[in-house]
Amino acid sequence: MATGIKDKVAILGMGCSKFGERWDASPEDLMVEAYSEAMADAGIEPEQLDAAWFSTHMDDVGVGRGGTPMGIALRLPNIGVTRVENFCAGGSEAIRAAVYAVAAGACDIALALGVEKLKDTGYGGLPVATVGTYIPQWYPNAVAPANFAQLASAYQRKHGVDAALLKRAIAHVSIKSHANGAKNPKAHFQQAVTEEQVLKAPMIAQPLGLYDCAGVSDGAAAVIVTTPEIARSLGKRDLVTFKALQVAVSNGWEMHSNEWDGSYVHTARIAARKAYAEAGITRPREQISMTEVHDCFSITELVTMEDLGLSEDGGAVRDVLDGHFDAEGRIPCQIDGGLKCFGHPIGASGIRMLYEMYLQLQGRAGARQLGDPKVGLTHNLGGQPSQNVCSVSIVGREGA
Amino acid sequence: MFGITGYGGYVPRLRLARRAVVEANAWYAPHLAGKAKGTRSMSNWDEDSITMAVAAARDCLGASEDRSHVRSVLLASTTLPYVERLNAGVVCEALTLREDVEAIDMGGSQRSALSALTQAMARVRTGGGDALVVASDHRKTRAASSQELDFGDGAAALLVGSGQVIAEYLGAGTLSVDFIDHFRTTGEDIDYAWEERWVRDEGIGKLVPRAIATALAEAGVEAEKIDHFIFPSTFQKMDLQLARRCGIRAEAVVDALAAQVGETGVPHALLLLAQVLERARPSQLILVAQFGSGAQAVLFRVTDAIGSFRPVKGVSSQLATGVEEHNYTKFLSFKEQLRLERGMRGEQDRKTALSTAYRHKAAILGLVAGRCEVTGSVHFPPSRLSHDQGRPLQDTQKPYKLAERRGRVLSWSAESLSFHRSPPHHYGQVDFDGGGRILMEFTDVAQGDIDTGTEVEMVFRIKDIDELRGFTRYFWKATPVRTPSSSPTESSAATA
């Protein structure tokens, strides 16, 4: 039976570009920005990298396909570079590949880097994804806000939640993330918003208004991983190690049966269960110090709290409104502003989430530093609630 | 005995208020002021002659799983979307008819619906099984023209056979004469017409009575015995004039629905016939005539079996469930006469892989799912593997039709981000009665029409239009189940 990766791999260094409307930077520039910080943080030379994994989603508006865009942009020493793409979970997939390579003993030191240059698409929101030749012939010409907004209608019906109450709860999700993002100099949006602003914002996809939607941003993030032993040999102390890396992918059950009720994300529950088992976590509400979850839309974050077992089923509305996930709450969520305010360059997001966990666990998060976090959870959701890729990763202090 | 064994019709839900058109164009065409009364039917952006034909045929055929009795389909229209690609073939796929059905497109004149009908009679007479006659028109007119106000969109269907005949075929009269009252050359959208008085007096007034006389003579019926006389025309009281000239009683003249629907073109005679059959009594005589490149008249006698058939909805019911539309720019946009700003999202390439479409034509055009014979679960699209508690079963699915089943909305949203011809764009997950689930678009809806639990039914509609290559893609959409009592009378500004 697999023993998992708990404490087998440590973070040697991390870097993250400033996220936002980076009119000043090409994707290559963003990669260099994140990579340079990560290499300086790790204190190694390029020749010490054994392999790299490169996450980018949109090949038509970004850097193109394959591993060469990263190999060339970073002038890597002819190491293996593999492009990974798994919707919004691509960054977490790049981490998983690098960590697994180190854990397997195939590499001593591996790099994972994600980048996305969304603002070169020419309009707000995500471009329409290419999904082959069959699906477009019957599937709605759907956009992400409406796909995720459907969680709200189904959640409301399942739990008998008043529409106005749910709207207030998801408004609080955004208010909290804006408050957090205001303390983050690398975040795309750095200003607080009021409940009135959120509730009165233009409607994007019922019931989601403008402030219920994550930022569409340019950005890059990088992580360098190695074994705890090598990290120590390179002089590192207070190691942050991986406790669990799990991914669950839809098999069609949600849409090809009538069993799923549409109010939650099935794969998130599976990935969370497996991640907790791998990390040895039995009471997540007590043992998880903080989370960075895939708040592509405010309703997604609310539902995710239940999927991760951090709220009771049907209890997230109350927990959110009670401030349970605020920076001062029991389990802070999106301390860095989340997708909502830090931004969401698709291929980079999973690594950006890990970056915040790393800073917090090392006490390097500046104005937004939490008290004494020990274990952090990151969660990515790619695709849409009815068919998706979900990753749940847990990191913590060595031995935690 | 052979004749009509079933009938149905289709009138789009939207009814454009003529006053809105007249007022918008008053600066330019004040002479249209006299036409400001009533409404005309107005197809949604996702409707064309094919989709309306399917709707009328479904109204006629009913929800029966077995449609194998239909051996031929004759589709009459002068506004078919394809010049080459069998339009009737698309209708057959949507109706899940057998592949060995003979499907034929007919057109060329405004009387082609009756030509299709007489051809269907001939087929039935020679033992060719049931023939489905469908007529449908989605007419384009120029803005601020009389035709824009006079015309309407719609479709009608008749099933012709020798089984349970509800209206016996007695005879027909046909004249094929190259009298050009109007014409439209290949590639053009809009007719060019000649002077009305000449058309009325030298064309309709002289040619139609000859066709009627032939039909009556063939049947051995006297004109004064006719109970229902149907003659669609945009000329006011032309039907009454013809009746007088032919010796038909004025009371027999069937109201042409000008006040609500307008003149729908090729299907209009059959649409009126479908409505007459809803109220016709045994042994009544129905005379239907059409004019165009000559004239045609067909005569029926209603049988004692008339009460044995009911269309799914019927024309009268659809007339009662219309919604008045006051937005003239919406009409122009839906008719592709007003190019509205689409934004970058409207630049999306909607190319269709024809090989993929062919491979999955039953699922896409027929809405045929797969039902697992072991678990009973319904999969859309159908697949080789079925779910069974995490242990997939292979090759256990059998074709399972969803189009005639109702469903309920599990989840939904309406968004204003994507390019959509009638925002906000509504879609969501629909759970079908008896199993099956599809994430699909909603159509003919205004804000507030869709909620979780809303009961919906399926309609065959345009899915996408590939303007780069001129290809129209079809699929099914969900629309709320409506009854005359549940329908609003006026459209909100956001009717999709």
Nearest CB to B360 within list A134, A157, A386: A134
Q: With CB atoms and an 8 Å threshold, state whether B429 touches A150.
A: yes
Closest to A205 (Cβ–Cβ): which among B344, B413, B475?
B413
Shortest alpha-carbon distance between residue B137 and chain A (Å): 25
- Residue in A150, A151, A204 closest to B417 by CB: A204
Q: Which of A137, A253, A256 sits opposite B475 (nearest CB)?
A: A137
Average pLDDT, integer, range B375-391: 90
Of residues A245, A379, A376, the one with CA closest to residue A305: A379
Nearest CA distance, A132 vs chain B (angstrom): 9
Position B495 scores a pLDDT of: 41
Cα of first residue to Cα of last residue in chain A, in angstroms, is 23
> Which residues in chain A are contacts of B418 at CB distance < 8 A?
128, 141-143, 146
Per-residue pLDDT of B58-71, as tens digits, reads: 999 999 999 999 99
Paired with B246 in beta bridges are none
- For residues B207 and B175, the answer to whether their CB atoms sit within 8 Å is yes
Give the number of residues written for chain B: 496
pLDDT of residue A222: 98
pLDDT at A269: 98
Q: What confidence score (pLDDT) does residue A1 get? A: 66
What φ, ψ does residue B483 adopt, rounded to 5°?
Answer: -120, 160
For B292-300, what is the mean pLDDT? 98
The Cα B367–Cα B381 span in angstroms is: 9
CA distance A302 to A315: 10
pLDDT tens-digit readout, A56-78: 999 877 899 999 999 999 999 99
Q: What is the pLDDT of residue B489?
A: 63
For A225-239, b where at least 16 C-beta lie within 10 A, e where not — what string? bbbbebbeeeebeeb
Which candidate from A121, A145, A257 shows the least CB-CB separation from B387? A257
Q: Which of B357, B417, B438 sits opposite A125 (nearest CB)?
A: B417
Catalytic annotation, residues of A: 88, 344
Q: How far is CA B175 from CA A306, B219, B228, in A?
A: 74, 17, 22
Q: Nearest CA of chain A to the CA of B388: how many Å?
A: 10
pLDDT above 90: percentage of residues in chain A: 93
Most A CBs within 10 Å, among B344, B361, B413, B454, to test the A interface? B413
A137 within 8 A of B357, measured Cβ to Cβ: yes
Helices A163-181 and A144-159 meet at what angle, rounded to 10?
Answer: 130
Binned at pLDDT 50, 70 and 90, residue A128 comes out as confident
The pTM for the full model equals 0.95
C-alpha distance from residue B439 to each of B214, B232, B408, B410 (Å): 55, 41, 12, 10
Q: Average per-residue pLDDT in chain A?
A: 96
- 8 Å CB contact of A386 and B429: yes
Q: Other CB atoms closer than 10 Å to residue B320's CB: what's the count? A: 16
Nearest chain A residue to B431 by CA: give it: A258
CB B60 within 8 A of CB B119: no
Q: Do B417 and A136 touch (CB under 8 A)?
A: no
B345 contact residues in A (CB cutoff 8 A)? 123, 128
Q: Considering only alpha carbons, which residue of chain B is nearest residue A250?
A: B390
The interaxial angle of helices A266-279 and A298-307, nearest 10 deg, is 50
Shortest distance, CA B407 to any CA of chain A (angstroms):
11
**Would you place residue B281 in the very low, low, confident or very high pLDDT band (cuts 50, 70, 90)?**
very high
Per CB-CB distance under 8 Å, the chain A contacts of B352 are 133, 137
Residues of A with Cβ-Cβ distance to B380 under 8 angstroms:
256
The DSSP symbol for A51 reads E
Which positions in chain B touch A121 (Cβ < 8 Å)?
Answer: 344
> Could you write out the three-class secondary structure of chain B?
CCEEEEEEEECCCEEEEHHHHHHHHCCCCHHHHHHCCCEEEECCCCCCHHHHHHHHHHHHHCCCCCCCCEEEEEEECCCCCCCCCCHHHHHHHHCCCCCCCEEEEECCCCCHHHHHHHHHHHHHHCCCCEEEEEEEECCCCCCCCHHHHHECCEEEEEEEECCCCCEEEEEEEEEECCCCCEECCCCCCCCEECCHHHHHHHHHHHHHHHHHHHHHHHHCCCHHHCCEEECCCCCCCHHHHHHHHHCCCHHHECCCCCCCCCECCCCHHHHHHHHHHHHCCCCCEEEEEEECCEEEEEEEEECHHHHHCCCCCCHHHHHHCCEEECCHHHHHHHCCCCCCCCCHHHHCCCCCCHHHHHHCHHHHHHCEEEEECCCCCEECCCCCEECCCCCCEECCEEEEECCCCCEEEEEEEEECCCCCCCCCEEEEEEEECCCCEEEEEECCCCCCCCCCCCEEEEEEEEEEEECCCCEEEEEEEEEECCCHHHCCCECCCCCC
**Residue closest to A340 by CA, chosen among A318, A325, A330:** A325
Residue A142 and residue B344: Cβ atoms within 8 Å? no
Q: Do A128 and B452 touch (CB under 8 A)?
A: no
How close does chain A come to B62, measured CA to CA in Å?
24
Confidence class for position B139, pLDDT limits 50, 70, 90: very high
The tokens for A164 are 């106005």
Closest-CA residue to A362 (of A378, A351, A374): A374
Query: What's the pLDDT tens digit per position in B309-346?
Result: 999 999 999 999 999 999 999 999 999 999 999 998 89
pLDDT of B493 strictly over 70: no
For residues B430 and B426, what is the distance between their CA atoms, to the nearest angstrom? Answer: 12
Please check whether residue B107 is in contact with residue B78, taking contact to mean a CB–CB distance below 8 angstroms.
yes
Best residue in B365, B386, B417 for a mutation probing chain A (most A CBs within 10 Å): B417
Instruction: Report chain A residues touching chain B, CB-CB < 8 A.
Output: 121-123, 125, 128, 133-134, 136-143, 145-147, 149-154, 156-157, 203-206, 208, 251-253, 255-258, 261-262, 386
Give the chain B residue nearest A384 (alpha carbons).
Answer: B439
Measured between beta carbons, the chain B residues lying within 8 angstroms of A137 are 352-353, 356-357, 360, 364, 463, 473, 475
The average pLDDT across B274-303 equals 98
Mean pLDDT of A72-91: 97
The mean per-residue pLDDT over the stretch B274-293 comes to 98
Are B439 and A255 an interchain contact pair (Cβ–Cβ within 8 Å)? yes
**Cross-chain Cβ contact A137/B381 below 8 Å:** no
Rounded to an integer, what distance in angstroms lies between the CA atom of residue A27 and that of residue A62?
A: 7
Residue B134 has pLDDT above 50, yes or no: yes
CB–CB contact B345 A157 (8 Å) = no
Is the pLDDT score of B405 beyond 50? yes
Question: What's the gap in Å between the CA of A5 and the closest CA on chain B?
Answer: 26
Task: State the Cα–Cα distance between residues B283 and B277, nearest whole angstrom.
Answer: 12
Q: Are B48 and B95 in contact (CB under 8 A)?
A: no
pLDDT classification of B390: cutoffs 50, 70, 90 = confident
CB atoms B411 and A150 under 8 Å: yes
Band the pLDDT of A130: cuts 50, 70, 90: confident
Q: What pLDDT shows up at residue B496?
A: 40
Q: Tens of pLDDT along B361-373?
A: 999 999 999 999 9
Of A205, A251, A386, the CB nearest to B439: A386
Three-state DSSP at A324 gives: coil
- As a whole number, mean pLDDT of residues A256-271 equals 96
Closest CA to B455 of B479, B485, B426: B479
Asked if A94 contacts A112 with a C-beta cutoff of 8 angstroms, the reply is yes
User: What is the residue-averaged pLDDT of chain B?
Assistant: 95
pLDDT at position B492 is: 46
Does the beta-carbon distance from B415 to A141 stay under 8 Å?
no
Q: Mutating which of A150, A298, A388 best tests the B interface, going by the most B Cβ atoms within 10 A? A: A150
Report the residue from B363, B418, B475 with minimal CB separation from A143: B418
Chain B residues touching A146 at Cβ < 8 A: 413-415, 417-418, 425, 427
Asked if B429 and A255 come within 8 Å (Cβ–Cβ), the reply is: yes
* 8 Å CB contact of B344 and A123: yes
Q: What is the pLDDT of residues B205-229, one digit of tens each?
A: 999 999 999 999 999 999 999 999 9
Q: Tell me what the mean pLDDT of segment B251-273 comes to.
A: 98
With CB atoms and an 8 Å threshold, state whether A256 touches B437: yes
Whether B435 sits inside 8 A of A252 (CB atoms) is no
The Cα B376–Cα B134 span in angstroms is 35
